[in-house]
Amino acid sequence: FNPAEPAEVLFILKKGEVAISRISLDGKKLILSTLGAGTIFGEMAIIGQRMHETFAEALTECVICIMSRRDVEDLLLADARIAVRLVKALGERLSQAEARPEEMAFRPVPARLASLLVRLGTETDWRGRPIVQGLTHQQLAELVGTYRETATTTLGQFRTDGLIEIGRRRITLLDPPGLQ
């Protein structure tokens, strides 16, 4: 979705990854969060925030279910447990959003990028080493709030230091504790 579209649905991400971002007036993109399978987004419109100030973009192939505002309201009224789960999900998202500015202000780019790689390295290669795949250097840069050139230079230093191996849209984490 984008800011020009009506905000009357809730998205349920069943498979894949989606980036939620904003675009500045001068065209720079800042990724606010990345969402994985099992998460929801677009919920702010459902709970009364009638605007999308953000963009949602599929980072990988996705399967997404959509619920109308009315269906969500009916479901929440029918089962309080679902309402509690939604509130918990919103609370977690708020907590993550509040931590992000602190990380951006107080941690240098290499620390932010290393932390991101460790966090995203949930899949493993055939040798059991964590991998991050499907993201370009530009997307990694946007995720940590820097320029592509800075992310590429930092990744190159990580490779030189023996922390990672870089392939086409694939980064193998050779030393996750070293990255941490």
pLDDT at 144: 87
Residues 6+ apart with CB under 8 A from 104: 112, 145
CA dist., res. 26 & res. 170, Å (int): 30
pLDDT at 36: 85
pLDDT at 10: 85
Which residue type, as a one-letter code, is found at position 90?
L
Per the CB < 8 A criterion, the answer to whether 136 and 98 are in contact is no
Classify strands 55-58 and 63-68 as parallel, antiparallel or unpaired. Answer: unpaired
pLDDT at 15: 93
- Comparing CA positions, the residue from 158, 106, 101 lying closest to residue 132 is 158
pLDDT at 110: 95
Its pTM stands at: 0.62
Strand partners, 170: 133, 167
Question: Consecutive sets of 10 residues in the chain, 180 residues long: mean pLDDT of each?
Answer: 73 90 81 84 66 78 90 90 86 77 78 92 90 89 89 96 92 94
Q: Is 42 exposed, middle or buried (0-12, 13-18, 19+ CB in 10 A)?
A: buried
